[in-house]
């Protein structure tokens, strides 16, 4: 039993009884292997559309550049897609199994952002796909301080996204577009993608 409500339901480490230890799938043309405690979108067709939108600008044109950060990178789908357009993509993931698969240290997003900013890294784009609790005040404030020209967020909680957007907009970001995706039909749950940029004028 889980004592309280949270972003994850995990107990003791899983024990493999038989068969493969990972699930191998392809999402948006990216081969992905997910372990028993990993996360994968349950509706691949809608998820692929959401991922394509997440990585393009609000007009549907793909972002391109020298450096992008991928926060809450999970199974690495968005990281792989971003690497088709950016010279360098640095993923961030706090769950050890997923971080190991990505080849990066497991660390919270706020720690990652502080470390990158201290080293003088300046991404042209930051993509974030946080869990249901959202990014939270610390990560949102760190993103304001980093001031990347473009910030794009996928969220599975409208309430959490509203809280995060309040911090980002107070810090100078402008919400350019917001789109909803019915990833779990016949339920009240939606995925949302928000397009933000610095400044107050037209993009």
pLDDT tens digits along 11-32 = 677 788 888 877 777 777 777 7
The predicted model gives 30-48 an average pLDDT of 74
Please indicate if the annotation marks 93 as binding a ligand.
yes
For position 97, what pLDDT does the model report? 83
Q: Is the pLDDT of residue 6 over 70?
A: no
Please indicate if the annotation marks 186 as binding a ligand.
no
**Does the annotation count 156 as an active-site position?**
yes
CATH of 41-198, one of 3.40.50.300, 3.40.1440.10, 3.40.50.150, 3.20.20.70: 3.40.50.150
- Look up residue 10 and give its DSSP letter: -
Q: Is the pLDDT of residue 9 over 50?
A: yes
Catalytic residue among 99, 139, 148, 156: 156
For position 203, what pLDDT does the model report? 46
- Residue 8 phi, psi (nearest 5): -145, 145
Higher pLDDT, 23 or 149: 149
- Backbone dihedral region of 128: left (phi > 0), alpha (psi from -120 to 50 degrees) or beta? beta
The predicted model gives 167-178 an average pLDDT of 97
């Amino acid at each position: 039993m889980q004592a309280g409500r949270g972003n994850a339901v995990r107990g003791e480490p899983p024990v493999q009884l038989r068969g493969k230890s990972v699930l191998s799938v392809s999402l948006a043309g990216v081969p992905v292997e997910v372990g028993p405690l990993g996360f994968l979108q349950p509706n691949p067709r809608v998820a692929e559309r959401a991922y394509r939108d997440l990585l393009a600008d609000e007009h549907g044109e793909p972002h391109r550049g020298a450096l992008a950060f991928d926060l809450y990178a999970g199974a690495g789908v968005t990281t792989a897609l971003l690497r088709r357009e950016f010279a360098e993509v640095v993923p961030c993931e706090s769950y050890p199994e997923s971080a190991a698969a990505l080849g990066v240290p497991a660390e919270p997003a706020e720690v990652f952002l502080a470390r990158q900013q201290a080293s003088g890294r300046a991404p042209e784009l930051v993509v974030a796909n946080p869990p249901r609790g959202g990014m939270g005040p610390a990560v949102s404030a760190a993103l304001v301080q980093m001031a990347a020209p473009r910030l794009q967020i996928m969220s599975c909680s409208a309430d959490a996204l509203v809280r995060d957007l309040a911090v980002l907009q107070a810090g100078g970001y402008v919400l350019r577009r917001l789109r909803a995706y019915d990833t779990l039909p016949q339920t009240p749950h939606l995925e949302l993608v928000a397009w933000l940029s610095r400044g107050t004028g037209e993009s």
